[in-house]
């Protein structure tokens, strides 16, 4: 039986029939730069800082996210404001180290730091990958727009 199989090249012909059949199947390629797969709803992209409706920061510089972060991505600066409250001076997210685990989002008691669905953030220089307060707030506006649309 085995000899007959070998002589008649059964296995080889089987393989060839599979490739021939596959040739007439539709392709599964997504032509990436021209067409994109929308990310899933809970996709963890780059960070953003949400704002209150009156435009003030939601973040109150409690350092919980920085504490939680396993790769030391988040750093922030704060001062005492006029009314004695903490006030955020700068908030940096170093994307070169971030592993997008989302622990900072979970740690935040005020739901201030969130993750957007942006995954295309390549830059030509490393220092552009360190996001500051302004960038994060810009992203926060984008996130809140997206959140509103989803509702």
Partner 1 sequence: MTENLLSMAFIVGLMLVAVPPITYLERKVLGHMQQRPGPMVVGFHGILQPLADAIKLIFKEDIIPKGADRLLFMFAPSFSVFAALLAASVVPIGFIQAVPMKSALLFVMAMSAISIYALILAGYSSNDKYSFLAGMRAAAQVLGYELPLGFAIMAAVILYGSFDFNEIVKWQSQHGWGILYQPIAFLLFLFVMAAEVGRPPFDLPEGESELVGGFHTEYSGMRFAAFFFGEYINIIVLSLVVSLLFLGGWSGPLADKYPVLGVLYHLGKAAFFIFLTFWLRATFPRYRFDQMLSIMWKILLPISILNLFVAAAEALLVG
Does 2 engage in binding with partner 1 (CB under 8 A)?
Answer: no
CB of 24 to partner 1, least distance (A): 8
CB of 19 to partner 1, least distance (A): 5
| Helix or strand (DSSP H, E) at 150 | helix 133-150
Q: Which of 5, 10, 18, 70 binds partner 1 (CB under 8 A)?
A: 18
CB of 1 to partner 1, least distance (A): 18
Whole-angstrom distance, CA of residue 7 vs CA of residue 30:
42
Does 20 engage in binding with partner 1 (CB under 8 A)?
Answer: yes
Q: Which residue has the tokens 């393989």?
A: 15
Alpha carbon 21 to its chain centroid, in Å, reads 38
Using CB under 8 A, which of the segments 16-24, 57-65, 72-80, 109-117 binds partner 1? 16-24
According to DSSP, the residues that pair with 131 across neighbouring strands are: 93
Name which of 125, 114, 117 is nearest 37 in CA terms. Answer: 117
Local structure of residue 55 (DSSP, 8 states): S
Q: Which of 1, 4, 23, 37 binds partner 1 (CB under 8 A)?
A: 23
The residue ranges that bind partner 1 (CB under 8 A) are 9, 12, 15-16, 18-20, 22-29, 31
């Amino acid at each position: 039986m085995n000899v007959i199989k070998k002589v008649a090249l059964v296995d080889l012909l089987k393989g060839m029939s599979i490739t021939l059949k596959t040739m007439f199947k539709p392709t599964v390629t997504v032509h990436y730069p021209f067409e994109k797969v929308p990310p899933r709803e809970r996709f963890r992209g780059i960070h953003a800082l949400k704002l209150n409706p009156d435009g003030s920061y939601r973040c109150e510089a409690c350092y919980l996210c920085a504490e939680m972060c396993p790769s030391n991505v988040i750093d922030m600066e704060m001062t005492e404001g006029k009314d004695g409250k903490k006030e955020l001076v700068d908030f940096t997210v170093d994307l070169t180290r971030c592993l997008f685990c989302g622990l900072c989002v979970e740690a935040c008691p005020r739901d201030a730091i969130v993750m957007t669905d942006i995954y295309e953030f390549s830059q030509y220089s490393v220092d552009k990958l360190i996001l500051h307060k302004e960038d994060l707030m810009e992203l926060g506006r984008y996130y809140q727009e997206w959140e509103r649309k989803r509702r």
